Amino acid sequence: MNLVSIDGLVKTYPAGNANRTDASVTVFDRFAFSMKKGEFVGIVGPNGCGKTTLVKLIAGIEQPNSGSISIFGKSPEETRIGYVPQHTGGILYPWLNAVENIAFAMAGHETEAKAGAMGALSELGISHYADSFPYQLSGGIKQLVSIARAKLFGPGLFLFDEPFNSLDYHNSFLVENALLKLRKENATALLVSHDIQSAVLLCDKILVLTKKPARIAMLLPVNLPGERSIDMRFSPELNIVSGKIFNALQGMADDRIVALA
């Protein structure tokens, strides 16, 4: 059984430009996609093609114009989803420290929630940031705190929107390791990323989307071992898949340039 099933998805937005003759912009037009439990699926595509919109639709933050989205046969609103958006600073409460931000996601007694939150921080190797407030944390540590909070929420599905956005190498590796641990625990995740190598390293398959209205241009399996490690980013298999993705995206960019010429 598929964990996520999307069928006939249509999503449009107002054009937002008085000079345009069309009344709306179509992001998805009868889009279909599915993924199984325990899969890590990566989504890449040109800027503005609808990657973040797709994540928000699956999370139930936005609603489609038509079509269906089900997660184990339920609507997004009925499902526990661990959503980590691009700018995690905005979802961490500035008046709470790291451990309090994580504990907030847990039901039950405050003492037990904080103990669970400390365990999550320790598991990610950042327990020394427990008393730090969001303004005191780097972008990478904020991402880790958000991942820990999403994990303790007990989701059936994780949604990661650009988890490596604006991170340096050190913080990117910290976040990669956190997501590799989720893979090892057989979590199910959808990962949007412009970082092709990280997406291939983490995912079982990669969807390459076209410009909007977005469709699936390529569906690439990643034939790496099920248990991954950081050093696999230098493997020939990873580079082959990364090269195919790069060439597909470059082809889309070239088409755009020709169209504008």
pLDDT digits (tens, 9 = 90+) for 177-189: 999 999 999 999 9
Query: In this structure, are 125 and 69 located in the same domain?
Result: no
Q: How do 40-44 and 189-192 pair as beta strands?
A: parallel
Query: In this structure, are 74 and 172 located in the same domain?
Result: yes
Domain end position, chosen among 121, 155, 189: 155
- Determine, yes or no, domain membership for 244: yes
Does 109 have pLDDT greater than 70?
Answer: no
Query: In this structure, are 56 and 33 located in the same domain?
Result: yes
Its pTM stands at 0.88
Query: In this structure, are 149 and 213 located in the same domain?
Result: no
Query: In this structure, are 70 and 106 located in the same domain?
Result: no
Q: What does residue 97 show for φ and ψ, rounded to 5 degrees? A: -80, 180
Query: What long-range pairs does 23-31 form, CB within 8 A, spacing at least 24?
Result: 25/212, 26/212, 26/213, 27/53, 27/212, 27/213, 27/214, 28/53, 28/54, 28/64, 28/67, 28/212, 28/213, 28/214, 29/213, 30/67, 31/6, 31/67, 31/213, 31/214, 31/215
Query: Which CATH number fits the domain that encloses residue 163?
Result: 3.40.50.300
Domain end position, chosen among 117, 134, 155: 155
Query: In this structure, are 211 and 225 located in the same domain?
Result: yes
- Determine, yes or no, domain membership for 84: no
Query: In this structure, are 136 and 165 located in the same domain?
Result: no
Query: In this structure, are 131 and 174 located in the same domain?
Result: no
Query: In this structure, are 168 and 255 located in the same domain?
Result: yes
Tally the domains of the chain: 2
pLDDT digits (tens, 9 = 90+) for 151-197: 887 788 999 999 988 788 888 888 999 999 999 999 999 999 999 99
Domain end position, chosen among 124, 139, 155: 155
Query: In this structure, are 168 and 251 located in the same domain?
Result: yes
Mean pLDDT for the stretch of residues 59-84: 92
Query: In this structure, are 255 and 169 located in the same domain?
Result: yes
87/30 Cα distance (integer angstroms) = 29
Residue 194 vs residues 61, 62, 75, 119: alpha-carbon distances, Å: 22, 22, 28, 31
